[in-house]
């Protein structure tokens, strides 16, 4: 299965100067666990997760009014929109991350795929196989 079938799109993004407070509001509004941080030209400069906010910002006594660039993760792993879910799983495992921005060949962000999205896709595929097996068993009876 391709990443484009399982990812969430569009990605929620912000600028590096966006405050931690505003990023928390974005996460709450969109019911998500990460925001992709992009430069004005749209290139990815980082990603901030709910864990980053808890451990690097608020857990360290930082003000919620600091720019997100002070707590974001840099050197972001990413996956291409045409990749297979196997590529996502390998990248997540290698980089020890649960969320990846999905980009095109120019680096433009198209969405985000999470470990939950991968599990959900695998679960749907397993359900489809199970349905197929059941339908074949009924035909063979």
Confirm whether pTM is higher than 0.85. no
Q: What are phi and psi of 98, to 5 degrees?
A: -110, -10
Contacts of 52 (CB under 8 A, 6+ apart): 71, 72, 73
**Domain 3-140 carries which CATH code?**
3.10.580.10
Domain ranges of the chain: 3-140
- Any idea which residue has 């990460």 for tokens? 34
From the CA atom positions of the chain, what is the Rg in Å?
18
pLDDT tens by residue, 69-99: 999 999 999 999 999 999 999 999 999 999 9
């Amino acid at each position: 299965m391709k990443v484009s079938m399982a990812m969430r799109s569009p990605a929620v993004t912000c600028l590096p100067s966006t405050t931690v407070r505003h990023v928390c509001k974005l996460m709450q509004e969109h019911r998500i666990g990460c925001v992709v941080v992009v430069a004005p030209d749209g290139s990815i400069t980082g990603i901030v997760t709910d864990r980053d906010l808890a451990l690097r910002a608020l857990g360290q006594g930082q003000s919620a009014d600091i720019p997100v660039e002070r707590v974001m993760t840099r050197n972001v792993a990413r996956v291409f929109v045409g990749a297979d879910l196997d590529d996502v799983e390998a990248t997540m495992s290698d980089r020890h991350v649960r969320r990846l921005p999905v980009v095109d060949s120019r680096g433009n962000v198209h969405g985000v795929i999470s470990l939950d999205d991968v599990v959900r896709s695998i679960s749907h595929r397993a359900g489809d196989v199970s349905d197929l097996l059941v339908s074949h068993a009924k035909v063979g009876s």
